[in-house]
Amino acid sequence: MTDVRASPPVRRLADWDPAELESLVDDYGSPLYVLDLERVRENYRRLEAVFPDADILYAVKANALGDVLSTLREEGAGLECASAGEVQRALEAGASGSEVHYTAVNPPAGDLDWIVDAWNEHPELTVTAGSEDTIDRLADRGYDGRLCLRVNPGIGAGHHEKVRTGAAAKFGVPAERAVDVLTDAADRGFDIVGIHAHVGSGVSSDQLDAHREFVARMGDLARDVEGAVGDLELVDVGGGFGVPYREDEDPLDLASVAAATRDAIGEIDARLTIEPGRYFVADAGVLLTDVNTVKDARDTTVVGVDAGMTTLIRPAMYGAYHPIRNLTAESDGGSPEREIVPQTVAGPICESGDVFCTERELPVSKREDVLGIGNAGAYGYEMANQYNSRPRPASVVLEDGDVRLSRRRETVDDVTRPERGARSGSRGNRKNDHPRATDTDNDPVR
């Protein structure tokens, strides 16, 4: 078992062996996602050590790869799911209903139908509703099981305005209405088990005051709710624990976050619950990509690679920084050291926003070099898409010194198959259908 005291609080891109990464492209092709499952375990154990009395759920949306879900379940994590598809993945990874929380945000009808069917088979599943409408829709489907209410505490934090959820109107019932909503739900026969909120994604150390205020509001609300509807099982304060993407950023002081959380929430009878996602997987992953074009433009050198915003959308969507290394330049010990020059690394998508960096100081790039893009384990493949009809990449995992293919590379045939299925009358075309794992026409990566 890994000793978390000997495990660094963050794994930088510079800590990966360049020759080993480059060899993976030789074996599995490019672009390629690489995920180190041992690092995922280390990150879980580090968080568990500072939150020994909390229930820890993994936010599946960060990386839903089956190997990740199985690894974190083995470590003791439950699974927090944002869609019916993620619940299906959780159950396929061996989770019991008691280990699964479904957190619905304006859930489609097909999702709710699927979830209620799953609840009939797994009655210990917990559903978190973020509106009175969702509670009504659950009741209409006969659901009266474990209900957690997502509330909006009116305070948000995170690395970008698009992910600061705690104050965004989209998320949760206003906190001042929570007691009335839960009282009504209890009168209607729901099993009220808790309250939930999430301040945002990628919370940094300098946002600790916002986190503390957010948790304090949740503690106050929990005491009000318990006074009105009885004891709660859980108070879920979400995740959002940030990781340093830039090389000069310090890692989050987890001990301080844990102490601030316990102090802010105060005395509650319910179990404190947290649900990190990014923290477990971000620095466990690297995206590998081949250089195919080097071009001297007017004001910069453009390095064209075969990964793009369809492979990793965070730079285009959030202006996010990811560290980049030229692995070939570093691993080629027999060649003269390459000059460091500013370069713009760009993908193959027909969009000017399809760039990973501009004017980044890197060793001179050559065609067929392999670049590594760091901190790609969270919201990398999960946000990958097929724009420009580009197939999604493969994924490999590292575990106990071995490498194995965890997700095969898509082909263009995979991209176009749903159209052929529609023309031939395959399932999955009806209103509100939710594709099951058996619907292979709708599941090209299985």
Write out the binding residues for substrate: 278, 314, 318, 351, 379
Tell me how far CA of residue 167 lies from CA of 156, 218, 245, 255, 259, in angstroms: 5, 13, 25, 26, 23
Radius of gyration in angstroms for the set of CA atoms belonging to the chain, rounded to a whole number: 23
Cα 353 to Cα 216: distance, rounded to the nearest angstrom:
40
Least Cα distance to 284 among 379, 198, 162 occurs for: 379
| CA 298 remoteness from chain centre | 38
Taken in order 377, 378, 382, 386, the sign of the CA dihedral is negative
Determine contact, residues 346/353, Cβ cutoff 8 Å: no
75-92 burial, b if ≥16 CB within 10 A, otherwise e?
A: bebbbbbbbbbbbbbbbe
Binding site: which residues? 240, 275-278, 314, 318, 351, 379
Determine contact, residues 346/302, Cβ cutoff 8 Å: yes
Q: Which residues contact 320 (CB under 8 A, 6 or more apart)?
A: 159, 160, 245, 314
Encoded tokens for 355: 């760039």
Cα 105 to Cα 200: distance, rounded to the nearest angstrom:
14
Q: Residue 284 carries which side chain, given as an amino acid letter?
A: A
Reply yes or no on whether 81 is catalytic. no
**Would you tell me how many other CB atoms lie within 10 Å of the CB of residue 98?**
13
Dmax (CA) of the chain = 76
What does the angle CA 59 – CA 61 – CA 66 come to, to the nearest 5 degrees?
90
Tell me how far CA of residue 27 lies from CA of 32, 369, 391, in angstroms: 10, 15, 19
Cα 164 to Cα 203: distance, rounded to the nearest angstrom:
9
363 pairs with which residues across the strands?
A: 340
Determine contact, residues 361/370, Cβ cutoff 8 Å: no
80 pairs with which residues across the strands?
A: 59, 101
Identify the DSSP state of 250: P
Binding site for pyridoxal 5'-phosphate: which residues? 240, 275-278, 379
The residue from 81, 148, 350, 357 that is catalytic is 350
Q: Which residues contact 395 (CB under 8 A, 6 or more apart)?
A: 32, 33, 34, 35, 65, 381, 405, 406, 407
Q: Which residues are known to be catalytic?
A: 350
